[in-house]
Amino acid sequence: MNPATAPAAPIRGFPDLLRAIRRRSALVLATMVLSACAAAAWALRAPKQYRATATLLVERPLPTDLGIASPFATAQEVGRFAATQLQVLKSRAVLDVLEAALDLATWPEFAALPAAARGQALADAIVVEPRGDSALVDVSFVGLDPARAAQLVNRLCDAYLAHVATREKENVRNDLAVLNAELPRLAQQRDAARAELDDWKSRNATLTFDGRDELLQEELKLQSRSVQELTQAQDVLEARCAVIDTTAERDLSALARALDLEPSRALVEKQVEFETRRAELAGTPGTRTAQLQALDAEIARVAGELADERRRAIDALLLKRGIARTATAHAEARLAQLRATATELDRAKSAHATLSVRVTEATSILERLTLRRDELMVLAARAGNASRIFVQDPATAPTQPCAPHAAAAIAIALVLGLLVGGAAAVAIERFDDRVGAIEELETSLETSSIARIPHLPTREGRAPEHQWMVRPETFPADDFCKLFLTLGGDQGTPGRARTIAVLSAVPREGKTLVATGVALAAARAGFSTLLVDGDLKRPRLQDVFSLDGEQGALDLLAGRCALADVVHRTAFERLSLLPAGTPTPDLERLAQPKALAKFVESLRGGFQVVVFDTSPTLLSADAFVFARSVDTRVLVASAASSKVGPLRQAMSQLRHLGIEVAGTVINHFAAPHEPYGPYEAKPTGAAGSARRRAPRTPAGSAMEA
């Protein structure tokens, strides 16, 4: 986007908003004053309105569930009842009764409405508001006549109470009829449940006698422990018998050792004794064979007896295993039987509990419905209203109007005026690209403001620099002297002039005014000064100093004359002028960058200060050549007409070319009020009086001193 046409920076943050409102404070104040005046006029001319209010107590004494009084009803049900009653208060049935009782056609509030729309208008005008979380409800109506307003509210409350009473009577009759039809059936259900419970008890008397559950649990524990012990003994016997099943029949002694079956000690000792004697006899010479055979027969007999004893022990072990298996099987069967009995007992207990609950519930419902029937019979015998709904405070005719509130209307109008004016100020600030606060300009251009030339009012629309030529006393010497010193014009090198270029982004920024003022300030400071009109396309200095047809810079660039021929003295001492010169069609050829740079260097020798009034930087490249060739540059902006976009573009182009400016000069600046008054020399004596009586002419002014 072209910076020259770019929109202003958006408003960011609360400080920017306050700054925008402060700049457009007149607009904001005007909007607030107009809003307040309009509100005050409306409050004075609007008809007075009066609010009449009555208070109702709408409370349900005991919330019910299914028509049965219950203390466990939730707060949601209570709130739903209250909300329903508020809707009933403005229902069509109640309002029709109220409309029939009042002649709304004679009321100013409803006279202009058609008959069909009066009912809806009446409903909209009535306000029903609960008073916090209490059961109190305020019913109000705002009307032009206080007495009629109170009458309407009281009639509405009466119609509502009558409607509620009628509906309650109908509900009581209906509920009583339903209960009378339902109670016999419920009594039948209760009797059936009781009979079923008694029959079940008689059929399961042996299973459900008192203490049966405790005995069964104790027996289950004992039987479980017995099964566990038998199983462990059987496992031991099974492990020992497994050795018998895997050992051959002929190796009884190895089997006995494996099973830890110890034989009879007497037989073992006999066998050892016989074997020892035979061994002794067999080793003795001359032993008879008959003796050895007798001993062998005894040894065989004892071994047979030992084998028979081992075989009997093994058979006894196998018999024990069989007995253990049978005992374990019987114990497990008994345990399963006990567990089945326990399961059956649990089912019986569950069935008994279910039947007992059915009997209890049937009895409770029957008793509650019987109690409700008795309550309804009492209500039917009296008013038939079960709810506490009555008028707590009737409406009275108000003495003070409720509307319009002049103070509130004016306050609201002021706030709205502030909001509208602030929004308008922000919108204008958003789309206004003119130079605003000096801080914003410095931030946007990333440079500082070194001088602020105040707005200089002149007569007959004459430019300030033209007026200085006629009335030198109007020249703001202090402002331009400060600017000249800030630019370092008094720090030139001997034999080499201090050159200053005055730049602007676009025309009509006050560039010629600033250049003329700086040159006059330099001359007044005692420096030989040359003011050069560097705007070769649209020169203005020749008009300021009333020169017509004089030769100047263009003639010097064309080589038609020497420098001494084009420098003109002015009416001000130590100030000379170099005008643009005679217009020529080959301006582009003459104003080449090298020629202009050489032209600037040629002016340094004969003067102490050279000030260039250049062309606008966005419209001509000559200004960049002058700016690059001089010692100091300054950018002029007008507080009345300059826009930030062109200034930002001009500054960007200068920096892109490596040209730095000393700062910006704000022209047409609205100077704040001086709290100490003007600071100027105070004339004294006759000389002062003469000075006041006879102002000096330009030829003899202080500028010439």
pLDDT recorded at residue 610:
92
32, 34, 123, 308 from 26: Cα distances, Å: 10, 12, 46, 138
pLDDT recorded at residue 36:
86
524 backbone dihedrals φ, ψ, rounded to 5°: -65, -30
DSSP annotation of 107:
S
Residues 6+ apart with CB under 8 A from 580: 533, 534, 535, 536, 539, 541, 542, 552, 553, 554
Band (pLDDT 50/70/90 cuts) for residue 249 is low
pLDDT recorded at residue 131:
83
Bigger pLDDT: 421 or 60? 421
Domains in the chain: boundaries: 13-45+406-431, 50-167+385-393, 212-364, 438-671+683-704
Bigger pLDDT: 465 or 687? 465
Percent of the chain predicted with pLDDT > 70? 77
- The amino acid present at 442, given as its one-letter code, is E
DSSP annotation of 547:
-
Band (pLDDT 50/70/90 cuts) for residue 611 is very high
Q: Give the residue from 345, 274, 337 showing the smallest Cα distance to 303.
A: 274
Q: Are 309 and 261 in contact (CB under 8 A)?
A: no
Q: Are 642 and 503 in contact (CB under 8 A)?
A: no
pLDDT recorded at residue 68:
47
pLDDT digits (tens, 9 = 90+) for 390-444: 788 898 888 888 878 778 888 898 888 888 888 887 777 666 555 555 555 666 6
pLDDT recorded at residue 7:
44
Mean of the per-residue pLDDT values of the chain: 77
pLDDT at 678 over 60: no
Same fold, 50-167+385-393 and 438-671+683-704: no
Q: Does domain 438-671+683-704 have CATH number 3.40.50.300?
A: yes
Instruction: Please give the class, per CATH, of domain 50-167+385-393.
Output: alpha beta
pLDDT recorded at residue 454:
78
Band (pLDDT 50/70/90 cuts) for residue 1 is very low
Q: Are 531 and 611 in contact (CB under 8 A)?
A: yes
pLDDT at 694 over 50: no
